[in-house]
Amino acid sequence: MGRRRTFTDIADITDIADLDAAIVECRACRRLVAWRERVAREKRAAFADQTYWGRAVPGFGPADAAMLILGLAPAAHGANRTGRMFTGDQSGDVLFRALYDVGLASRPDAISADDGMELFGVRMTAPVHCAPPQNQPTPAERDRCSRWLAAELALLRPTLRSVLVLGGFGWQVGLRTFADLGWDVARPRPKFGHGARTVITDGDDHLTVVGSYHVSQHNTFTGRLTPAMLREVIVDAARIAGLPTLRR
């Protein structure tokens, strides 16, 4: 049996598959580990007959993605249940439907980790890989987990051309992580907003970061983020990345 990856092994990770495996084994944040496992034991009544994932959730999508979608953290009864980013909750339903509508996902709905869903040229991840209480990680948890994001961004660098950031939290963490990786990020840092854009550079390489309101129920139920708005910003980020899209 191979050596289990640990949080301190991160510098040795050389591919996305190893990174994903290492993230799953992470137990660095005691509060988050306790919460995700408690939720997995107690469950929601609607999912009482299901086995919850109850671990850190790795990114999802091809290792040579040209576009990255950066969210916040797994939902307690969504990704923390299914083990796949944005899968099994209403926020994910909105996101995957929009990706399908523009030709970047193979299915309009994301039900489980084994439902056959494929993303085309797109990968999704989060600054925090464990479900936090009240969906609010602490600054210390965010900073500790940002090392995983830094490793993922570094591995995707040869093919990555755009990053679609969902929400102000991901915008702040993402830009700071890029700066830590040596990218030139404008100062003062660009303000977050739906449709906001900033180009970051490192030598001859450049990357466009695009902002979107988060696909949270608060935003989608109130109409702050409509399906049309989401499709538009996804198409914008995809075209920057050189990915073909459909308009539906």
pLDDT tens digits, residue range 160-202?
999 999 999 999 999 999 998 889 999 999 999 999 999 999 9
Structural contact between residues 143 and 52, judged by C-beta atoms closer than 8 angstroms? no
pLDDT tens digits, residue range 8-28?
467 789 999 999 999 999 999
Report, as an integer, the average pLDDT of 117-143.
96
Instruction: Please report the pLDDT score of residue 248 as a whole number.
Output: 54
pLDDT over threshold 90, residue 30: yes
- pTM for the predicted model, two decimal places: 0.93
Instruction: Please report the pLDDT score of residue 9 as a whole number.
Output: 61
Instruction: Please report the pLDDT score of residue 11 as a whole number.
Output: 73
% of the chain residues with pLDDT over 90? 91
Domains of the chain plus CATH, in order, are 14-240 (3.40.470.10)
Instruction: Please report the pLDDT score of residue 96 as a whole number.
Output: 98
pLDDT over threshold 50, residue 7: no
Q: pLDDT band for 3, please (50, 70, 90 cuts).
A: very low
pLDDT tens digits, residue range 33-57?
999 999 999 999 999 999 999 999 9
Report, as an integer, the average pLDDT of 120-142.
95
